[in-house]
Amino acid sequence: MKDYTGIITTFGCIAEHLGHSFSGEIHYLIGRALQDAGLAEPYPYVLQELRPDEVDGFMRTHAFRGINVTIPYKQTVMPYLDELTDIAREIGAVNTIVNRNGRLIGHNTDFYGMNVLLSLADIQIEDKKVLIFGTGGTSKTATAVAKHGGAREILKFSRKAQEGSLTYDKLSDHFDAEIIINTTPVGMYPNDEESPLPEGISLRDFSSLCGVLDAIYHPLRTELVSEALRLGIPATGGLPMLVAQAVAATERFLEREIPTDIVRTVTAAIEAQKQSIVLVGMPASGKTTVGRLLAERLQMPLIDTDEEITRLARATPAEIIRARGESAFREIEAQVICDVIAPQSGVIIATGGGAILRDDNVRRLKRNGKLVFLDRSLDSLETTYDRPLSSDREALRRRYEERYPIYCAVADLHLSIQDGETPETTADRVLSSI
């Protein structure tokens, strides 16, 4: 039998797959914040993937001081526990286990995390009709949160008919729902093109919708959250919930109270690490130059969409447009953004001037990024031969008039570049505004 005693000797997280987990970084930052506040020393935290047949051997060792548990083991571990908190018992799922002198005590700090998520998104659940997608451990947490929050009606949906839930083909009977909570992995990287909503149904169909929560945190904004935000509906992804439950778990690990502002501090730090800065604007507006400066100052990689297209297509954008036309180039550009660029997080992206012409490009770039419009006046833009769509002043003017309202509409941050402003100053302004 495999020896599991040396896997996690202090604190850590177990799951079947942890390749894209943020938990290690979050607990490192919590430890640093506690040290800065003079409350505790940083603590070791180990990510450990376990196959289903390895869970039994690991749980029987009792070799850890405290662990977090995530998909798919939040219910699997429960038979090994000596004690459950009231919330964990009510929910029927555990995400935190503390070893107290050989006794394993199961907690559910996801309950606290989801309440924090609601609070930060300013979504009120009291007296609302709530739809919950999924029936797993996080779904049970969402149900408990909705119940304790005073929801008027709570309905669960799943792909297969089972006791206590409806199938998605019944969703159209509940377009009067006011809150939607996704607890499924649908929309999680690398399948971030997906939405838990069935084909043919949009958030537009929910006439009374006033809040959308998605427990997924990678990407930062799932397709479901992005659709809600496009419609002006308050919505949030699961990163604040992940951080809040980690802080609550640490309180139990270390047996000490942690100030609530650490949740905001750590969430902001993780967002800064994971969120990309996407520079958009007309050709010759300085996106690549400013991008290089930002990449250097933030110690982040720079991705230039035109350079990436050249590398993969073995031809420059100008060569592609001259040989095959603009339409063919836009297809290549969209494919590169979808497959190579948009899935990246924590990078600086300098886009081609027309990347924003396709809604899908904008939607994908916003999943992990903030779009910054570098707005340089038409008179200050230069024409060059290597830009065939704006190679003379008249062509440049037409492109400018066509694209300017789109840049304004899609930008999360609009920076007007003053005549004579240096790239260094522009980079400083981006950093101070993000």
CATH number of the CATH domain containing 364 = 3.40.50.300
What is residue 164's predicted lDDT score, i.e. its pLDDT? 86
What six digits make up the tokens of 54?
């390895």
Q: Are 187 and 180 in contact (CB under 8 A)?
A: no
Structure confidence by residue, pLDDT tens digits, 203-232? 999 999 999 999 999 999 999 999 999 999
How many percent of the chain have pLDDT more than 90? 88
Q: Which helix (H) or strand (E) holds 230?
A: helix 223-230
Whether residue 409 sits in one domain with residue 317: yes
How does pLDDT run across 357-406, given as a tens digit for each residue? 999 999 999 999 999 999 999 999 888 777 777 878 998 999 999 999 99
Q: Report if residue 325 sits inside a domain.
A: yes
Range 430-434 average pLDDT: 91
Query: Among 370, 376, 334, which Cα is nearest to 352's?
Result: 334
What does the DSSP assignment read for 233-244? --EE-SHHHHHH
Q: Look at residues 371, 337, 22 and name the one whose alpha carbon lies nearest to residue 188.
A: 22
Supply the pTM of this predicted model. Answer: 0.88
Q: What is the CATH number of the domain that holds 219?
A: 3.40.50.720
Range of the domain at 368: 275-433
**Count of domains observed in the chain:** 3
Q: What are the contacts of 40-46 at 24+ separation with CB within 8 A?
A: 40/254, 40/256, 43/10, 43/11, 43/250, 43/253, 43/254, 44/10, 44/11, 45/10, 45/11, 45/12, 45/13, 46/7, 46/8, 46/10, 46/11, 46/12, 46/13
Query: pLDDT at position 390, please?
Result: 80
Residue 71: pLDDT band (50, 70, 90) is confident
CA dihedral sign of residues 290, 292, 297, 299 = positive
Residue 53 has a CB neighbour count (10 Å cut-off) of 8
| 291 and 403 belong to one structural domain | yes
Q: What pLDDT, on a 0 to 100 scale, did the predictor assign at position 1?
A: 54
What's the pLDDT tens digit per position in 7-17? 888 999 999 99
Of residues 2, 74, 129, 140, which has the active-site annotation?
Answer: 74
Q: How confident is the model at residue 5 (pLDDT cuts 50, 70, 90)?
A: confident
Quote the mean pLDDT of the chain.
Answer: 94
Give dist(CA 164, CA 154) in Å, integer: 10
Same domain (yes/no): 311, 376: yes
Which residues, including other chains, have CB under 8 Å from residue 201's CB and lie 6 or more apart?
Answer: 171, 172
Tell me which of 233, 251, 285 is where a domain ends.
233
366 in catalytic set: no
Choosing from 233, 252, 287, the residue where a domain stops is: 233
| Tokens matching residue 102 | 């050989």
Q: What is the pLDDT of residues 75-110, one digit of tens each?
A: 999 999 999 999 999 999 999 999 999 999 999 999
Please indicate, yes or no, whether residues 247 and 228 belong to a single structural domain of this protein. no
DSSP H or E stretch at residue 394: helix 393-410
